[in-house]
Structure 1
């Protein structure tokens, strides 16, 4: 019995040591300068894909948010791809389009709900822009996010960029505080990975991909990190990086 306890103790101690060492290394990497060819004049045409399924509570605010992004309107196409919502999401989108024709929003509706990746791949077939941006309906972007982050895609080695999630209700409860601590730790690790090469974890709130290197979104991805797509980019020799300049905002759901 004592031997088993000692083995478990040694295992836990070594595991904690490995994690602590990784965190220290990533923190050190995160402090390093970028070694990228950043072009502040790089302003590609972009498609912003917003996948929706029963997002009636947030989609109106989301479209208002996207419509206020500081970027030339002639360079932005917004595509809402809906997976047969049943809560009036499409009605809200169509009403917004009617009242804001300048927003250049296209609506696509899947025949049946097949998941987020399938919806994005469906929308991807309708994109002819240089950059594909994915942003979930419950996340909100600073108006300057494209001008601050897209110049990093000018580097020929960079295939995709994302940003850290910032919780707007981080002080609301012990659950939101815990989630905030977790996000801060993960963002530091992902930044360290990015400075060293690539990260394989993106959040769904904001991610941007060069269309020339993006064949499709990983059909087996069922979560929000999309690591399968990033692994595919890495296998082709492209970097996927997290940028502090690309932060976005969201709420931690309190009904979990």
Structure 2
């Protein structure tokens, strides 16, 4: 059996942290150690963590990014595996038990499970829940069968410590460390695995402000990784390069698809209503079958899934706007030297002030000593 250290980076997470730590404590295969990195919190995050009888690290200054906070904990980890959990993510009780067997294959460097939304209270959470149902029950299984997952979700990934340390820790050179590490390991010939039966519930954007910040970080990070890795992917992991290129193609062609009913109405004898009806039918034909499968697989009420379906179009609009912004900034302006790209890690919540800039670095610096509570 492998030994496991769970590390939880946290900045102003006093509200969500108790559920995260309780879920870690109640695992059927509990972690050998739980470490919370309190990265410059101004609330009671450290006190809340300490009350759950875990190790609390307090860096001497705010590190300003998730990867930096995680790297700060690495010198305190001596187990076979490291489980990185976001401070607002709740793991199913058997999460560790289901993921650990993936590492029986010595070529596996990182593995992660199926992420779903914890709450579906607002338009944005409902839209994200639909995205997750579709992505984790359609896109992710296909990528897994092809042996080339796009990303092991950073909110609940398990890493082989030897691979993580050999790589220099969690990558700080891009704004999304999970995708960076997933691609880098596959380029090096290591494996990343998707474990569909291991479930984690993430607290997703409840407001448009939160959603915009999160999506901008995700899209900019994706394009940063495209800029950094695409050449190596094409030559050393071509199937993963195919998924990446398809994602770029989808971003580029999405406006055309959304404009189709209006163009059809303007250039043919069809009315706008008829064109929209045909377009809606095609959309439902493409999206409903995977959602029906996901609802059955997750034992969800079909009515709830279908009620949430229209909400996904609001989140898709936000996704598309920031995807195009990321293409322009990260793949055009940055190579031209006109922009440094996104370097500031913002968690996203409206009440969370921006963190200090996180420079793009080839290697992380050695962490300074921290206060251990």
Q: TM-score, normalised by structure 1?
A: 0.74
Q: 2:61 aligns with which of 97, 112, 119?
A: 112
CA distance in 2, matches of 1:180, 1:96: 30
Please identify which structure carries the higher helix content. Answer: 2
Partner residue in 2 for 1:235: 187
Partner residue in 1 for 2:17: 59
Provide the secondary structure at the position in 1 that maps to 2:76. Answer: coil
Q: TM-score, normalised by structure 2?
A: 0.52
Structure 1 stretches lacking a partner, 5+ long: 1-42, 98-104
In structure 2, relative to structure 1, the CA distance for the partners of 1:80 and 1:173 (3 Å cut) is closer
Partner residue in 2 for 1:45: 3
Structure 1 residue 205, shift from structure 2 partner: 2.4
- Which has the bigger relative contact order, CA under 8 A and spacing at least 6? 1
Q: State how 1:196-211 maps to structure 2 within 5 Å.
A: 196-211=146-161
Asked whether the 8 Å contact 1:206–1:246 carries over to 2, the reply is no
Structure 1 residue 54, shift from structure 2 partner: 0.3
Asked whether the 8 Å contact 2:95–2:198 carries over to 1, the reply is yes
Partner residue in 1 for 2:163: 213
Structure 1 residue 221, shift from structure 2 partner: 3.5
Q: 1:251 aligns with which of 192, 203, 208?
A: 203
Structure 2 stretches lacking a partner, 5+ long: 209-373
CA distance in 1, matches of 2:191, 2:35: 26
CA distance in 1, matches of 2:187, 2:163: 11
Q: Which structure would you say has the larger Rg?
A: 2
Structure 1 residue 47, shift from structure 2 partner: 0.6
Structure 1 residue 253, shift from structure 2 partner: 3.0
Say how many residue pairs are matched. Answer: 203
Q: 1:165 aligns with which of 100, 104, 115?
A: 115
Partner residue in 1 for 2:27: 69
- Alignment RMSD (CA, Å): 1.7
